[in-house]
A and B are shown apart, each in its own frame.
Chain A
Amino acid sequence: MSYIYLTKPKLKKEGTVMITPRKTGFNHLVFKFLVVISGILICIIPGKSQPAQAEQGYQTYDELTHELQVLVKAHPDLARLESIGTSAEGRDIWLLTLAKKGSVPTEERPGLLIAANFEAGHLIGSRLSMAMAEQLVRGYQENDNIKQSLDNHVFYIIPRMNPDGAESWFGKLLTGQKGNNRPTDADNDGRMDEDGPEDLNGDGVITVMRVKDPHGLFMLDPADGRLLKRADAAKGETGVYSIYLEGIDNDGDGFINEDPVGGTDLNRNFQHAYPYFKEDAGRYMVSEPESRALMDWVISHRKVAMVLTFGESDNLIVPPSSRGQLSTDRPLDLISLARASVEGASRVGMISTGGRGFDRYSMMMMSSRGRSGGQGATPESTGRQRPSREPATTVNQGDIEYFSTISSKYKELTGIQTQPVLRNPEGAFFQYAYYHYGVPAFSTPGWGITLPADSTRRPGARGTMARPGGGENTSVMPGGMARGGQFPIEGSSSSTPGIDAQFLKYLDSKNIQGFVNWEKATHPEFGEVEIGGFKPLEISNPPITEIDKLAESHTQFALYLSTLYARIRIVNTEVTSLGGGLFMVRAEIANEGFLPTALRHGVQSRSVKPTMVQLGVAPEQIISGSSKTNFFQTLDGSGRRVKYEWMVKGKSGEKIELKAVSQKAGSDVKTITLK
């Protein structure tokens, strides 16, 4: 391979499954030492010392770390830096906590978690969250909104969830990888990361090869000669091109780039709508050190009341639909088609004719009770089961309005109207944060592709997508693909038409050099090929010139979010003496914030605790009325109230403490005197 990573994990020759190494303290130190040493070595190799993307305004891990340290040093009263864990390659995952110390301890305050750069190349998210942090700490003195927010609430900012993957975007070659570099056997051939891309035309980016091929399925797109489309036989069109990712067949298995360095895509590794058994989703939910560090942190910080992530999914530019559905993916067909060329690699060696199990033995012994060939225990519902519950997959009807209100504000502040390239949010962290953690959770790419009004999606784009899974090499063993329920069929990576034409128009209109024009090159296996296509950095990130404006407006948005918290208050307490040592105690609890104390889904999923209202007397002092300890599931904001009353036996002058404790909306305590 022609490119170098800061630290490249040793390849295993005949790896079997991904094994999580148990890290010992010593190994860990050695590893860190190696990271430092190799970092130094790479710095002194000429030509590699200057990261290609530094001038693009994005920060390497060391630069990011330095900036964080400087920020914290300059604002010790507002900012605290800690590591929530280390990546597979030993880098710290930084968490910046912004809050002004006050009477309510930071960890007891409702908080907004901002997390970015799950996808290795989504550097803009990292940049935006850093800029937001800077603006928040700098603005504390002058800006009253910021002061309010930092005095009463807390911002938790994780600017780079995937430091290992992100670092590979500062190397000599951009491959477009999203994962965390952990060695994987994507095609399950017993070899890890053995067939990655090569920069055949030496331009520093991995794009696409188109090859003249009488068996090819694709032709030039008449609308724009830079693009390709699937030839439609029904229209008399003939395919003349095959499409591949730029590279060679390193392991001689007949496929190009089917098992590159990539690892697990962290925004595919969380618990909601987890894409089981997809090679970039990890071995299981929360399997990666990075995702696990984040999970362990969030479940031990239940006061986090809102989540904002930057990533390649969106529910802010386009809010959930009236049915509660999010935008599907907006892919680039050119890249999907090239990727589809390796779909067959993980089916090499499927034997369909030789699966004659048991053929030498009598079938009689197989099944004494079966209908035919061993169906003995094939389950049928006996009707004794409780109806199986399914987890929610759409935004709760009662929550949609909050999402659309916030989305409108987002668009008003940022001016972003059109989504860039997007992916389905399966296994994404923000989806976990809403569906399992129960809080308002948002994702935005952090930028958009603004276009002249007339250019919409090119006509006829629908249906030009290659159907992965078709074509050669698809012998599947009988019954092997019989899967039900939630396991997606392999290769169903993309079903919506691409936005290639729209994206090209955006690049052209902004004069962004984001497309490599097709040029001839010589390929060791194919001979003459043409190399061209979309450049990885420009697919996922806006031009550098827009960063400042985006940072400013996103800081405004974060501040806006921090005005929305639910806020519990005890209002209107009153005590009436009934004589004979009996007192009637009445209290009203109000939510003076905007959000409800728990979203409807937070209640349904039982992930947000009910608010507790407790009167500080011995249980036997209460004669009638409410219990000593009461709970309400949720209370809408904007001043909604609930009432409680207790008849209490006590002494005149006795002081009683009334507590209202909410998980996401703060707490309140009032002392009541019996009289």
Chain B
Amino acid sequence: MKTRYNILVGAALILGLMILTPAAATAQEYASDPQFRVKLDFNRWHDVHELYDDMRRLEEAYPQFLKMESIGKSHNGLDIMVMTINNPKTGPEMGKAAMYIDANIHGNEIQGGEVCLYTIWYLMENYGKIGEITRLVDERVFYIFPTVNPDGRQHFMEGDGGNSRTGQVPVDEDNDGLFDEDGPNDLNGNGVIETIRKYVPGQGDYRISRTDSRMMEPVPFGETGDYIILGQEGIDDDGDGMVNEDGPGSYDPNRNWGVDWQPNYIQGGSMDYPFQLPEARAVNDFLMAHPNIAGVQAYHNSGGMILRGPGAESLGEYPGSDVRVYDELGQNGERILPYYRYIVIWSGLYTVHGGFIDWTSDGLGIISFSNELWNSSQYFNSPELMKQAEDPDSPIARNRSRYFFDDKLEFGDQFMEWKAFDHPQYGEVELGGSWKKTQGRVPPRFMNEELCHRNMAFTLYQADEMPMMQIGEVQVKKIEDDVYRVWIDLTNPKVAPTITARAASNKLVRPDLILFEGKPEVISASWISNKNTFDYLNPITDLIDQKELKRLIIRNGHPGKTTRTLQYLVKGRGSVTITYNSVKGGTVSKKLSID
């Protein structure tokens, strides 16, 4: 009886295990459909508070890696939030190279905020699941700023979308002593600043397009049209006889930085001096306090570009060794990001004086990119459709494709039709002919997750290729009595150097240091050309002409994907610690004993 009972119990146990085991196995099998700990959505646009709320949820879910803090306030008093991703178990923050990622310096260029949020979320959700992600989080530090212009973002999200490139520090554009007193007005209250047109039969210079009645076109020379265009929706708020002449802000937060800064008459919107804007100042204080930052990505929109400096021709092209680094990263970026071109700002886009990534590259010595997110070629992106778009009679011909897209894919949600309005100054007019703020510079919502992932992937690739110093093989050989020869392999397996050539010539980064701690006396230090042939062929050594041989200065750092062999001749025995200390390439040590 007892035995049978035991057997039963045993059978039940086995049965139970059989039930339980497949359950556990199921979770494994469905790893491609992970159960995310924090559920976020990337098919919509977040205002500043929603962004920060989501960041807080992530911070609460992953407190061992995430730290969220404010680096300062915007002009309107919103926090500028940074999320630090660091695994303290793999070393202190300052000892690891850091990737700085920001977005939205232009208030209306919003989707970079979602890319940032996606990046934090993706790294955390996949830590411990995907090996490469785990390694990246363990090896690197990330500073992520979903919006460095919260005023501009909030103005864009809350308002009609107009005048949002700028921040919200008031500027007197019309020189009347009043600030921001006459911006556009949403007269019909539909949330969009539309165009004003007036019907003037036979006296106008515009007509309705024959291709699509939603489009207006200027009349050809010698003809007259039935419409005139009266500018943006608005009235003369301050009664000075002019309409919309002084809207909010109206400067460029991305021209207020410390390299090649130029006054307003050369570079519009630069303000009076670099870092005058509270947002730029807060970000710069953060950058200056984090010399471990070795990579920068600043997300903008739009056009599909992977931009690097210089922003102006007068800055001069980067030294060749730096260009090689940018080229490798940028060209792989083009493979990661279809429809994005890798180009130089001044030659491929336009001249920028005092831009952010010129400051980080030429002023701080950081490898810096700026992606222009979203390219309208992505609306109709198969080779067949792109060919068809060349045909002017096709419904997806270049000038008509966005209307077709709106009709068939957005169900007409984004275009504002013309409608009558009684204007206080202009009389009977029509408002319309405009797109909602969520059309054009940002992708259709349903396409945003791919944008987030591909751009993140490029930025993580850049982060992975930040410098990382390693000490490789060490050989100690007795030469005579108590004189020894020590060979140390120093390697940076990544693409980026510990110090860019630009940084070295501008003295931007503290030089790398090689420290020799221990009793033996260093007689000489030198680089050797090839340790494999050293003992057989005529050895070439490059003597290091420095006075303090136990603290060598490597002013232009260690190049990417390079191993150098350092030779010490030392006198005396004992244990020695060799440390390679690099501000951007990390700090590594190795102990060896000389005897």
Contacts and interface: CB of A to CB of B under 8 A. Distances in A.
Contacts of A628: 240-241
A14 B160 CA distance: 51
Interface in A466-487: 473, 476-487
B286 to A, nearest CB: 10
B325 to A, nearest CB: 8
A351 interface: yes
Interface of B is mostly: loop
25 contacts: A15-B510, A16-B291, A18-B288, A188-B510, A188-B511, A189-B553, A284-B259, A284-B274, A287-B258, A299-B272, A350-B555, A355-B559, A357-B321, A358-B562, A369-B331, A377-B308, A378-B344, A379-B317, A385-B347, A391-B263, A473-B545, A477-B556, A483-B505, A612-B177, A622-B241
A483 B346 contact: no
B258 to A, nearest CB: 3
A295 interface: yes
Contacts of A463: none
B323 A377 contact: yes
Given A353-B527, A354-B542, A388 B313 contact: yes
Given A271-B263, A284-B274, A377-B330, 18 more contacts: A18-B288, A19-B288, A190-B510, A286-B274, A349-B552, A349-B553, A357-B559, A379-B317, A379-B346, A380-B347, A381-B347, A477-B504, A480-B556, A483-B316, A485-B315, A605-B264, A610-B175, A628-B240
B410 interface: no
B313 A479 contact: no
B542 A627 contact: no
Contacts of A480: 319, 501, 504-505, 556
A16 B582 CA distance: 10
B262 interface: yes
B554 interface: yes
Interface in A560-594: none
A359 B493 CA distance: 11
A604 B265 contact: yes
Contact of A361 (B241, B513, B553, B561): B561
Nearest to B262: A391
A252 interface: yes
A193 interface: no
B89 interface: no
Contacts of B552: 349
A533 B527 CA distance: 42
Contacts of A20: 285, 288-289
Contacts of A376: 323, 327, 330-331, 342
B314 A388 contact: yes
Which of the listed residues A354, A385, A490 has the most CB atoms from chain B within 10 Å of its own CB? A354
B323 A374 contact: yes
Interface string A595-612: 000000000111101101
B319 to A, nearest CB: 3
Contacts of B236: 619
A295 B272 contact: yes
A250 interface: no
Contact of B562 (A356, A369, A386): A356
A476 B319 CA distance: 12
Interface string A61-88: 0000000000000000000000000000
Contacts of A607: 263-265
A379 B545 CA distance: 37
A386 B351 contact: yes
Interface string A338-364: 000000001111110111111111000
Interface in B69-107: none
A105 interface: no
Contacts of B454: none
A628 B241 CA distance: 6
Nearest to A295: B273
A379 B553 contact: no
Interface in B297-317: 308, 312-317
Nearest to A611: B175
Interface string B276-287: 100000000100
Interface in B320-372: 320-328, 330-331, 342-344, 346-348, 350-351, 363
B363 to A, nearest CB: 6
A217 interface: no
Nearest to A603: B265
Contact of A357 (B330, B504, B560): B560
B427 interface: no
A189 B321 contact: no
Contacts of A203: none
B509 interface: yes
Contacts of B548: 251-253
B511 A190 contact: yes
A285 B553 contact: no
Interface in A456-508: 473, 476-487, 490
Contacts of B323: 374-378
5 smallest CB-CB distances across A and B, nearest first, come from A484-B316, A357-B559, A379-B347, A479-B319, A349-B553
Nearest to A249: B547
Nearest to A279: B507
A370 interface: yes
A479 B265 contact: no
Nearest to B334: A368
A585 to B, nearest CB: 15
A251 B548 CA distance: 9
B348 A382 contact: yes
B555 A284 contact: no
A579 B510 CA distance: 81
A656 interface: no
B344 A358 contact: no
B464 to A, nearest CB: 15
Which of the listed residues B241, B289, B542 has the most CB atoms from chain A within 10 Å of its own CB? B241
A19 B289 CA distance: 6
Contacts of B259: 276, 284
B398 interface: no
Contacts of A358: 324, 559-562
A355 B259 CA distance: 27
Interface string A251-269: 1111000000000000000
Contact of A385 (B265, B325, B350, B508): B350
A386 B350 contact: yes
Nearest to B322: A479
A373 interface: yes
A237 to B, nearest CB: 29
B31 interface: no
Interface in B255-269: 258-266
